[in-house]
Amino acid sequence: MAIKFLYSFVAAAVSTTAVLVNAKASAPLRFAGVNIAGFDFGCGTDGTCVASGAVPPIHKLSGIDGLGQMQHFVNDGYNVFRLPVGWQYLTNDKMTGVLDKTQFAKYNTLVSDCLSTGAYCEIDIHNYARYNGQIIGQGGPSNKIFAELWSNIASHWKNETKVIFGVMNEPHDIPNIAAWAASVTAIREAGAKTQMILLPGTDYASAKTFVSSGSANALAKVKNPDGTFTNLIMDVHRYLDYDGSGTNAECVTNGIEDSWTPLATWLRANGRKALNTETGGGNVESCVKYVSQQISHQASQSDVILGYIGWAAGSFATNYVLSQAPSYSGTSWNDTLLVSMAMSPKINKHIATVA
């Protein structure tokens, strides 16, 4: 999990891109990317979000050049961006599935900026399976209201093949994780028939406990309306600090033995795939080491692991403990240590990009 108290690139078309990592046998990862945060600022892990707390990574709204960052990252070889947003932001602090036109238009600016780079763009509702402290469909807003929200979101991008729908960020302490079924149906029936939908488990979408918590078996039962599992992807997070929280600068593990090996085994046995939509660490040598090992291992499991998305750039300051936000010198963008030495598909030591 990542406990985040949230406050604070010449357009290049991306062809279908694979990321190659020098594992024992070089294997392609389909995705490498980064979170472009800001619309989720003001959200806590209890799902309490305040729309006014958002810091949109849009230059005309906040002075933060999210588009420039994404263009830079695409030039580095990235091909996916996750775009977190609070439910309350999209509805202007109303517990409803109806989108506020003004608020949604601002968020759509970021999505449009993302799409303009040629990358895939993930819509991520960053509410921890809650709305102002209450669990969705289990004491809080009804599954019907949440499905309506996703129906309205999906209908807007139903024809955008590079939009990915991330049903929910980091659910935790959820009695019934399979409650996402209604949202999958809502997305598909809104006309988004083929795009990827990401299904998160409980325990903050932990890759480490995805199987042991029962999330894997519960989510395995979630189907498309036609009864298939096509493009229903498991959504997992893994931070490499001592407590897996994503709040500490130093990394102490690569997560291979306790997380990626059991997860890949389950995915392969059940014919499913997963995407690691949050990972990272501080800009220190220990994280360069362990994140590099993690990515290399993921590549060796690329038949079931689709790739990784780092946390985080966008509106985060460059001194944020997990910052992957590049700094701008006036003429060029400069990557953080972790991006430049471990996560960027541009570097040769761990990753190379091919068309």
Inter-residue contact 128 to 169 (CB < 8 Å): yes
Of residues 160, 170, 189, 257, which has the active-site annotation?
170
278 is catalytic: yes
**Pairing relation of β-strands 31-37 and 305-314?**
parallel
170 is catalytic: yes
Inter-residue contact 255 to 294 (CB < 8 Å): yes
Q: Which amino acid belongs to residue 333?
A: W
C-alpha to C-alpha distance for 348 and 275, rounded to whole angstroms? 23
Question: Which of 113, 135, 114, 120 has the alpha carbon at shortest distance from 233?
Answer: 120
C-alpha to C-alpha distance for 320 and 250, rounded to whole angstroms? 13
Q: Where are the beta strands (DSSP E) in 149-231?
A: 163-166, 197-200
Residue 226 burial (10 A CB sphere; 0-12, 13-18, 19+) = exposed
Inter-residue contact 351 to 20 (CB < 8 Å): yes
C-alpha to C-alpha distance for 320 and 342, rounded to whole angstroms? 18
Q: Which residue has the tokens 């499991």?
A: 301
**Pairing relation of β-strands 274-280 and 305-314?**
parallel
Quick one: DSSP state of residue 94?
Answer: -
Please, which residues have CB within 8 angstroms of residue 348's CB and are 6 or more apart in sequence? none
C-alpha to C-alpha distance for 46 and 129, rounded to whole angstroms? 8
Burial state string for 152-176 with b = 16 or more CB within 10 A and e = fewer than 16: bbbbbbbeeebbbbbbbbbbbebee
Count the residues in the chain. 355
Of residues 160, 189, 250, 278, which has the active-site annotation?
278
Preceding peptide of 312 cis, ω within 30°: yes
Work out the angle between the directed axes of helices 66-75 and 101-116 (0-180°, nearest 10).
Answer: 20
Provide the annotated active-site residues: 170, 278
